[in-house]
Amino acid sequence: MSADPAGAYAATLSRFADRLFRSGGSDPGDAALEIPAERLEVYRELVRRGYTSMLRFAYPMSFRLIAAEITTSDPAPGLPSSVDAVIARFLEDSPAANHSTRHIADAFRTHFDREQGPLLARRPELADLMTLERAALGALYAFDDPGRSPGGDELAALQASAVPDFLALRVCRAPSSTTLRLAHEATRLHHRLAHRDVPEPGAHAAPERVVVSRDPASLEARFTTLDEAPFRAVLAVPPGAETSVEALAAAWLEDLPEADARRDEAWQLTTLAGAVLTGLHAGWFRLP
């Protein structure tokens, strides 16, 4: 049993925390702590730096876009003055409750959507980019998926297999994978930013269907954009679930848009097989 921490001890830590998360320089409240103002400022800087480092890790291209937008925009009401100011505002408003990168990333996203409206209005694609990067963070560190990913030779054999054999194949959906319907082409945006090419505001305002998964070989996150029909083949298997390709086909056909449902069987079979094989290669499907 811990000693009862109530009293002076708890009050000391609370008082320190109250001042620690403030920004905007010293104020009379700092003096009540009875520690040198410049030393409190060192702690504030370290906390800000720690959070910045974790958030830049979680949202690398989003922060690149935020920084570019802040730097190039004319000063406007409601826009932060710097990335540092974005982080400081987050810390003042609602810092994370624990040190987990994913928890910090989620707490920041909630805060950002609520508090950085002017920035999001200038860059509406930022919201989708952050959603994409959060899914990538999840893929990178998710629990190890059940089953296994086939090697190149096995994939080639599957591709060449007879239809009945392929339909009998069992696959499972990797829990590390995420399906996203986005209002912007966030993967293209991500790619351009990674090459330090900052698009004009409003660029890539076309919808995108993305599967974010963990690459079986490198274990890095990867993005695959899909048309509606193969995307629905992924959606037909919930993360963690196992099924046969035949059962997957039945569920998929049931849910196909009318235009695709009217297409011939060869197209349907090829589309489904393509989605399964791509998924096995990209890591969103695995063999049990």
Partner 1 sequence: MAATRGANFGLPALGVGIGLRRPHVARILAERPTVPFFEFCPENVMDRGGRARRDLLAVAGRYPVVSHGVGLGIGSVDPPDPGYLRRLRRLLDETGALWASDHLCWNRADGRSSNDLLPLPFTPEAVRHTAARIREVRDALERPFLVENISTYTVLPGARMSEGEFTRAVLEEADCGLLLDVNNVYVNWRNNGSDPYRFLAEIPAERIGQMHVAGHDDRGHVCVDTHGAPVRDEVWELFRAALELTGPTSVLLEWDSNIPPLERLLEEAATCRAIHDEVLAAAVAGAPDGGER
Nearer to partner 1, 39 or 191 (CB): 39
Number of helices (H), then strands (E), in the chain: 15, 6
* 141 is a site residue for partner 1 (CB under 8 A): yes
Q: Sheet containing 242-244: give its strands across.
A: 242-244, 170-173, 285-286
Joined tokens for residue 263: 């297409």
Site for partner 1 in 44-63 (CB under 8 A): 46-47, 50-51, 54
Q: From residue 13 to residue 32, what is the string marking binding to partner 1 with x (rule CB under 8 A)?
A: xx-xx--xx-----------
Among 68, 83, 120, 140, binds partner 1 (CB under 8 A): 140
Q: Give the contacts of 82 (CB within 8 A, at least 6 positions apart).
A: 70
Joined tokens for residue 245: 């390709």
Contact 96, 89 (CB under 8 A): no
Give me the least distance between CB of 145 and partner 1, in Å please.
Answer: 7
Nearer to partner 1, 99 or 191 (CB): 99
Give me the least distance between CB of 174 and partner 1, in Å please.
Answer: 10
Among 97, 160, 162, 259, binds partner 1 (CB under 8 A): 97
Nearer to partner 1, 8 or 266 (CB): 8
Nearer to partner 1, 46 or 261 (CB): 46
* 40 is a site residue for partner 1 (CB under 8 A): yes
Among 65, 86, 96, 236, binds partner 1 (CB under 8 A): 96
Give me the least distance between CB of 223 and partner 1, in Å please.
Answer: 16
C-alpha–C-alpha distance, residues 4 and 7, integer Å: 8
3-state helix, strand, coil in the chain (%, to 5): 55, 10, 35
Q: Reduce the DSSP state of residue 238 to 3 states and report it.
A: coil
Site for partner 1 in 142-181 (CB under 8 A): 142-145, 176
Stretch in the footprint of partner 1 (CB under 8 A) among 6-14, 119-127, 165-173, 198-206? 6-14
Among 82, 99, 151, 228, binds partner 1 (CB under 8 A): 99
Among 71, 100, 110, 159, binds partner 1 (CB under 8 A): 100
Q: Give the contacts of 73 (CB within 8 A, at least 6 positions apart).
A: 79, 122
Query: For residue 112, which of 90, 129, 92, 95 has the smallest C-alpha distance?
Result: 90
Where do runs of H (alpha helix) occur along the chain? 8-20, 28-31, 37-58, 60-72, 83-93, 101-115, 117-122, 125-141, 152-159, 163-168, 186-194, 228-235, 245-255, 258-261, 265-282
C-alpha–C-alpha distance, residues 183 and 114, integer Å: 19
Burial of 155 (0-12, 13-18, 19+ CB in 10 A): middle
* 3 is a site residue for partner 1 (CB under 8 A): yes
Site for partner 1 in 194-223 (CB under 8 A): 214, 218-220
Binding residues for partner 1, per CB under 8 A?
1-3, 5, 7-10, 12-14, 16-17, 20-21, 33-36, 38-40, 42-43, 46-47, 50-51, 54, 95-100, 104, 139-145, 176, 214, 218-220
